[in-house]
Amino acid sequence: MKTIILGAGYAGLAVATKLKPHPDLDVTLVEQNPYHTFETRLHEAAAHNTKVTVPLAPLLRGTGVKLDLAIIAEVNLDTKEVKTKDGPTYKYDNLIVGLGSVTNFYRIPGLAENAAELKELKDADQIFGYVNRTFDAGFVGNRDIVVGGAGLTGVELVTELAQRNESLSKARGIAPFKIYLVEAGPAILPVIDTALRAKAAKVLSDYGIEILTGHRLMQATPDSVTVQTADGNQRVIPAGKIIWTGGIQARDIVKAQNLKKGPGGRIVVDKELRIPEYPEVFVVGDMGLALNEQDKPVPTTAQHAGQQGRLTGDNIMRLVRGEALHPYVPNTLGEFISLGGLMAVGWMKLPWNQKLAITGGLAHVMKRASEWRWRASIE
């Protein structure tokens, strides 16, 4: 059974590391980088150059999975072909698509051309380099940073940048730059409750971050953004660096005549995470529109991507043994948001669908614990 796994993000890598050698199973993992990136820690790499990758080859030992480094150009489900850029074309019996998401710029004029992203290691490297340059004695121009989007990524990024800003300012005797967090919605961090949100907002304010909720980003230029408030007033904010974390959409790389997509371009899948019209194709992670028990879309988070990947890996083994596949049952264990250093806020799931809110150092430990569990699951 020729099986191809596309992508070594949280979902794809979870699939690969759940597999075991089998005489009837021939598996290849196709990924453009020789490493896995802990995307949930990219904000730390952007501010502090923290190591957030791990080599793939050691993780695949004992799985029977071969690693091919290539950039996926197109996936055609009707011809069962995966085409790569300047590389081979793969045929398959079963396909697992885990190619993740791309930034959604919502067609805001100038945003895609002038804003940095935080999706890959190179994005974090670029932001880290900019922050360091702003504290060079010969730096000329505006040093301020505007971050668009006050979800998890945006909030975690501005807090780490604020810490780095303060550290470099003290070390080099240069005034800190200004950080703006722009959010079109009425509040930051809509995924957590009001009390935790207020705690997070206070931490951001204490860092000196200017929080602009209810401000829609209307336009971006190389050195400014224009925002509009609910009452229609507009404001131009000069900036040396613009970073957009305000939305994602599924990677548009899978082509098929009978393919169905939902919000954000996510591909509709069944209870086993397969495309109903193409049951030999599994879609895991951000690209798949998996539903929970209330028929609501499962969030595009690392914990759910990992769950989908582990289930799919197990189901591939069941498939090759001729056993029935198991359905996907999502389980949201909690959500923790880093606020720099040893500070975090979030909640964890308790029995009977209760939630326990946690702040401070304990929340930081819980967030780290979720990352340790992920590493343990793939090693």
Q: Are strands 274-275 and 278-283 parallel, antiparallel or unpaired?
A: antiparallel
In a shared domain, residues 190 and 269? no
In a shared domain, residues 61 and 86? yes
Banded model confidence at residue 371, pLDDT cuts 50, 70, 90: confident
pLDDT score, position 353: 80
* Whether residue 103 has pLDDT greater than 90: yes
**How many structural domains compose the chain?**
3
d(CA 29, CA 27): 7
In a shared domain, residues 127 and 239? yes
In a shared domain, residues 20 and 76? yes
In a shared domain, residues 223 and 173? yes
Domain with 29, as residue range(s), is 2-103+248-332
Does any domain span residue 115?
no
Domain end: 225, 244, 263, which one? 244
* Whether residue 23 has pLDDT greater than 90: yes
Q: Which CATH number covers residue 70?
A: 3.50.50.100
Does any domain span residue 111?
no
pLDDT score, position 87: 87
pLDDT score, position 351: 86
In a shared domain, residues 233 and 339? no
Q: What is the per-residue pLDDT across 72-84, written as a single tens digit (0 to 9) for each?
A: 999 999 999 999 9
In a shared domain, residues 235 and 125? yes
d(CA 280, CA 329): 20
Which tokens is 305 given? 């991507």
> Mind giving me the DSSP string for 262-300?
-GGGPEE--TTSEETTEEEEEE-GGGEE-B-TTSPBPP-
* C-alpha dihedral sign at 28, 36, 122, 106: positive
Q: Which CATH number covers residue 194?
A: 3.50.50.60
pTM: 0.95
Instruction: List the one residue out of 39, 235, 7, 55 whose CA is nearest residue 121.
Output: 39
Considering only residues 351 and 202, tell me which one the structure prediction assigns the higher pLDDT. Answer: 202
pLDDT score, position 191: 86
89-91 sheet: strands from edge to edge? 89-91, 81-84, 72-76, 254-255
In a shared domain, residues 361 and 266? no
Q: Which amino acid is at 66?
A: K
Please provide residue 97's backbone torsions phi and psi, each rounded to the nearest 5 degrees.
Answer: -100, 115
Does any domain span residue 116?
no
Instruction: Reduce the DSSP state of residue 24 to 3 states and report it.
Output: coil
In a shared domain, residues 283 and 202? no
In a shared domain, residues 151 and 223? yes
In a shared domain, residues 131 and 223? yes
